[in-house]
Amino acid sequence: MSDISAVKALVFDVFGTVVDWRSSLIADFTKWGDQRGIKADWTALVDGWRAVYAASMDEVRKHPERGYMILDKLHRQSLEKLVAQLSITGLTDADLRHLTMGWHRLHAWPDSVAGLTRLKKKFIISPLSNGNVALLTNMAKFAGLPWDLVMSAELFEHYKPDPETYLGAARLLCLPPEQVMMVAAHNHDLKAAQKLGLKTAFVARPTEYGPLQKYDFEAKGDWDIVAKDFGGVADRLGC
């Protein structure tokens, strides 16, 4: 723990921390599949999709010569493989696009919008997410997230937890790292941010992965704030 009185901006992990990607996608795809008459194990698709997320970003990291690739494109590539693996048939190119854009249509956790609205009165609030700018912008409009600005890994052409993302956010805000607080439901994200001098807030989201959740049930680090939800973060910051 350290002095957090100088914090001016809060940057948020988004998938899992601000929005409930798993329940949102399963509900969205199930409804859509029923309407389109496409049978599939949508839960398996969603869980499988997220399971290859880290590996898909590792490919970008390992091959800088190929250039940066935004998350929409990684999502689409992973989806095409998964659809084949899960033997989901009858999907057109427009269908694959619709599913990929599902990541733009995620619902916030019940406390997110109210908490962000309180925090926005006193702090600059922004996502700092591996989602691309358009994804985060569309999601904000869909879910009513009141960001002041939208910061994405895309702006730095590096995915979290690469240092360029956390330091890039501080640079764009013209703030030293210690005046920026990273808010996340993932201990590894906070660990990377803290190492670079950012302040940290942990909010547990124990149902993020549904029955598959294996870690991040609780804080596993010396974070500046540990709260049960965004309202708790606002309480701690005097908002």
State the residues that interact with a copy of itself by CB under 8 A. Answer: 70, 72, 124, 132-134, 136-138, 140-141, 147-150, 154-155, 172-175
Q: How far is the CB of 172 from a copy of itself (least distance, A)?
A: 4
Q: How far is the CB of 133 from a copy of itself (least distance, A)?
A: 4
Query: For residue 184, what are its two tokens?
Result: 């996340």
Distance CA 192, CA 236 (A): 22
Q: What is the dihedral of CA 69, 14, 135, 104, to 10 degrees?
A: 120
Nearer to a copy of itself, 71 or 201 (CB): 71
Q: How far is the CB of 143 from a copy of itself (least distance, A)?
A: 12
Q: How far is the CB of 14 from a copy of itself (least distance, A)?
A: 13
Q: How far is the CB of 129 from a copy of itself (least distance, A)?
A: 12
Distance CA 148, CA 126 (A): 6
Name the pairing type of β-strands 225-227 and 199-203.
Answer: parallel
Nearer to a copy of itself, 77 or 137 (CB): 137
Q: How far is the CB of 170 from a copy of itself (least distance, A)?
A: 10
Nearer to a copy of itself, 162 or 216 (CB): 162
Q: How far is the CB of 70 from a copy of itself (least distance, A)?
A: 8
Nearer to a copy of itself, 133 or 204 (CB): 133
Nearer to a copy of itself, 123 or 223 (CB): 123
The DSSP string of the chain is: ----TT--EEEE--BTTTB-HHHHHHHHHHHHHHHHT----HHHHHHHHHHTHHHHHHHHHH-GGG----HHHHHHHHHHHHHHHTT-----HHHHHHHHGGGGSPPBPTTHHHHHHHHHTTSEEEEEESS-HHHHHHHHHHHT---SS-EEHHHHT--TTSHHHHHHHHHHTT--GGGEEEEES-HHHHHHHHHTT-EEEEE--TTTTGGG--S-SS--S--SEEESSHHHHHHHTT-
Nearer to a copy of itself, 72 or 162 (CB): 72
Nearer to a copy of itself, 175 or 239 (CB): 175
